[in-house]
Amino acid sequence: MPKNKQDDKINHLINVVGSIKKSNEEVLGTVNELAEAVQLFATKVDQRFDGVDKRFDGVDKRFDVIEKRLTRVESLMVTKDYLDDKLADLRGDLVVMMRKEDTKVKTLAEILHKRKLISDQDLKSLVSMEPFAQLA
């Protein structure tokens, strides 16, 4: 092969290799730019997630406070059964007190009748009154 043709081929190969090298450098530059863009995006996403995490921490703290308050309310709140029992006890106590008062009124009416301060009709009327009426 003549030397000139060889030189042409070698020069052509050198040009091709140089062009491939240049092309590879461009691709590498583009890949580096993409890597930087992805890194920047990942950093921004991480920052946003950190912000969301902080907000969730605040929400968790608020829920803890609410849960403590609810637990306190539940511990202080009376149940229906407890309230029913207490109302029944109160009603029983009131009935006992009213019976005592009724007995006092009837005793007073009998004393007044014995002393002739009220008539038989008045005595019957007083004794027959509610809440604990007596039939004559």
Q: Give CA torsion, residues 32, 34, 38, 39, to 10 deg.
A: 20
Cα gap 62→92, rounded to integer Å = 46
Considering Cα of 113, then 114, then 120, then 124, what sign does the dihedral take? Answer: positive
Task: Pick 86 or 130 by higher pLDDT.
Answer: 86
Cα gap 76→52, rounded to integer Å = 36
At 1, the pLDDT band (50, 70, 90 cuts) reads low
Indicate left, alpha or beta for 133 from its phi (over 0: left) and psi (-120 to 50: alpha). Answer: beta
pLDDT digits (tens, 9 = 90+) for 14-42: 777 777 777 777 777 788 888 898 999 99
pLDDT for 39: 93
User: What are all long-range contacts of 9-18, with beta carbons under 8 Å and residues at least 24 apart?
Assistant: none
The letter for the amino acid at 103 is T
On average, the pLDDT of the chain sits at: 87
pLDDT for 3: 67
The residue-averaged pLDDT of 85-109 equals: 93
